[in-house]
Structure 1
Amino acid sequence: MFAIIKWFWGTTANCVSIICFKCPGDLKEGKLMDQDLSFEKIQNRLTRTQEQILVYSRDFARIYRKEKEQRAHAEEMHQKLLAVVNSMSEGMVATDKNMIIQEVNSSFVNMFKTRQQECLGTSLRQFVPAEKLTRYLMLKNQIQHPSMDFEFSPVDKKETVYWVFVSDLSATDTIEGGFVFLFRDVTDSKGFERLKSQFIKFASQEICVPLNGLLGLTEQFYENVRTKLSKEELSYFNFLKKSGRSLQSLIEDMIQISPLHSGEKLNKTLVKLDNLMVDVLRKLEDEIHNQEIQIQFEVQDSGSIFIDQDLLGRALFNMQKILSTYTLVDGTITIEMFQSGKGLYLRFTCPDIVPNDRKELQKMVNSQFSLRERMEDFGIGLALAKEIIEWNGGKFKIETEKELVIELAFPSWSESLRISA
């Protein structure tokens, strides 16, 4: 409630309107007229009120202009971002928590031969198999990871392969939470990588067959004539055998690594790392039974990781075989398994490897090991083992200063879990 007092001064054309807002305990009804107020006091109050109103008006105008500029800038940025999103070769979709499509870009529309208005408000399950989305949501709830990726082929286009990257869209006061999907057509690259992998695998297997025959005949011939050969001739035979075994190991490594470069998805499962290492050491017993070395496996903390068990098992076997080969007779290799933070670690300590051999192993890790320099029957196994470990989400670290130490770090299964096609 407010009272309006009109004060006429001189003529009726010269009038001033005084607005007095009613406040508790101050300007109560009838109280103003009881006060002994002179014209000067009323005029001073009016002047102060007008000045305050002017200040408030200026502040409001300044805030309004600033808000208008911010809105114009936000609209400009929105248009620029929209242009960038529509120019992307990847299809992009924004959905709510129920997978209902809210926004799509032009690449997604062209990718799936549809229209933008037909997509909005519909479920993403009409474009992506429902089981993929269901599995994604299930794993998302299990591991609380902000992003994941998977691959799929549409039901009506089995020859087409899409790679999909999914990330969370965080909720704010004005925006509901949801997901952002990024689609990429990887059909051509998949086909090329598959063709290259098949050629490498076919060529390697075709070379292995005659090579095994040559190695067998060489071994048999050597057993028949070794008592009749001089030391120099025996050294030539040993070099021939070791070179053959080195080539055989190299070909096996090519077969082993070809699936990685073909873009094939790893067959990841939840595996107890200590059990995997025990299986590797058990298989290695037949290979190193005559080397007279001791391998100690100490498990401080047990744990599981999400990896391709077969592929990582072969990498660990190949790596352990190389370390055993370089270890001196009656030497010791210590393998420690422990947990630190969110990671699970395997540490291989080899104190009985001479400095020159440690440098040689460092070269092998960096893929700098020449075939001409190799003297044992294995290929570039450490470089391949490093790549396989990193492919499974792990880290490979080697130290060669005082003693050879190789440390493998794997993220816990909740950190490394991904959707595989």
Structure 2
Amino acid sequence: MTTFLSSRRAWGATALAVLLGVVVLGATAVKFAPPGSSVAVWWPAAGLAVAFLLVSGPDRRRAAVFVAGVLVASGLANYYGGRPPLVAAAFGVANALEAFVVHRLMTRGGRRPRLASMDDLFRLLAAALAGALTFGVLAGLVVTVGLHSTFFPTAYAVTASHAAAVLVIGPLGIAVVTPRVRAFGLEDVAQMVLVVGVTLWVFRQGQGLPLAFLPLPTLAWAATRQGLRAVAAQLITVGVLAVYGTSTGGGPFAFAGTRADVRPETVGALTQAFLVTAAITTLSLAVASTQRRRAIAELRTEGQFTAVVLDTAATAIVVVDTEGRIGRLNRTAASWIGRHEDELVGLEAAQTFPIAEGRDALVRRFAGLRDHDFPETDEQEWVTPEGRRRNIVWSNRWLTDELGRRSHLVKTGVDVTESRAALERERRVVEELTALDQTKNDFVSSVSHELRTPLASVLGYTEMLEDGAAGELTSRQGELVARIDRNGRRLLELIEDLLVNSRIESGQLDLDLRRCDLADVVAHAWDGLRPLSERRDLDLSIDVDRKPVWVRGDPAALERVTMNLLSNAVKFTPDGGSVEVSLEVGNGHAAPARTASDGVDGSAAPDGRCARLVVRDSGIGIPSADLEKVFRRFYRSKTATDQAIQGTGLGLSIVRAIVEGHGGTIEVVSAPGAGATFTVTLPALPVGAAS
């Protein structure tokens, strides 16, 4: 229905048909008003209008258009029913306001009207009462002013009339979009015949016995067995038959009006009270039955889900009652025990669990289960029917009843046999790898030491040759000796890098931290750069104030850091480029330097001052993907590899280790073709710190 009404044309055509129905029903209700009454016994037009608004949903624009139509249609209905024009127009306004109030309350918050819970039913009752009171007050004023009647009898009569109409017919607007509970069958035919027959008999001509309650059990039958659609249709049927019978003098209410001289408005109010009672009773039962069916369906689904989860779980799940008997278990637990699940339910857990030893302790643990604490986790060794031993770790949790008393113990077991074996294998592998790594470090350290001694001798004899100890060298001989010296020193630097890296890996990077002038360290490193750059076409610049920059550090290690960064800058910058180094003191967030072994305080200045060493070049740059990797040991970027630039990939890893050993940080900013900028930040000592 809602899909059909989603079309603007379909909605408009349906709205016109409903408004025509409002005119017809309204005029008919006025015609059937009891003699001497200024109001109708029932106003089904109000219920029809509300039903259409409810099925239309929370669309405020469409609701406003339809409410305006209700104003016109209701006014015409009252006019055709014989009301004076002004009175008819006033009733039209009252009916429109009633429909507006009910729709606004039912769709508050943009929700679609429904009857799925008792809260929804209470909302419908409140909306129907609010709308009926709105119409009742306005109708009482209209008849008092326009028809010279009394206010209160009219007000309470029409309030009951409209409340009954909305409660009896309004749910139809919700029911048409509610799914059918079950297929229509013989039971439904019998129930409908019974409810129609009983209602016709109760409200027939000449029937004066107070039996107005008889249709209620038949409506309750529909409410408990059928869906909201059938209930809404039968409520409308009972309402039409009861009002028609009462209007034509049949039934107990009309009988009271003729025999007990009861006012016509009172007869109408009694009829509406019957309809309201029938609607509230039937809708309450229908909603409760709907909730019950939904709860049963959810329980069935949850039960099926639980069964599937239990049976397919790789863990063992056993539920034990307070007497220590198995209440339920899953397929995994049964397979570990070696029997079918159905055979195990009801047996004592202590006698059933195939534990390897200590059954007496297990029996004592399960005895008096309700009154004793059970460990949150415990471990047992089980022996499977195949003779295989399993190490089972159990998690134990209690279920409690509504009074908070323990009812069942849920044991969830995990077989850790394989995982423990795997952990043991991994532990042995780690130990072997650790030993292998230590052997490698020892080998590298030993070889490096062994190589350094003869290499130092080679470099020493090279210097003697250059100094003419073996006679004057020719230019060709001098060139060859210089090449030997240059490559020997490269090899010596590599050996030194390997030794430092070995000490770093073994945690033996001993730094001689003391008060030192970082500016002097940078100046010495800059002087050492000259042999590397003298044959290069580079623009070299240094911005280091000769004013001391005091830090707590190892001068030799810091010079190694500076020299490494400068040599990298020269190495990765093509001819015609530039290399800059600067040193400044400012505010920063470097960590305090590590305390020296001699116990001298190594904390940064109280004002958080830091020394920043910046080495900037205009070289080939570093790809963004490599920025996080350049400080790894033996890592070389793809750019350096492609351009065959010499290096081992140890320099920057050593730089970072030394900087962090001083409580500092190092950062790099670079992009391909845009050069690189390395920034070392170290905590500066307070001015006047002791040496």
Query: In which range does the TM-score fall when normalised by the shorter chain?
Result: 0.3 to 0.5
- What TM-score do the two structures reach when normalised by structure 2? 0.29
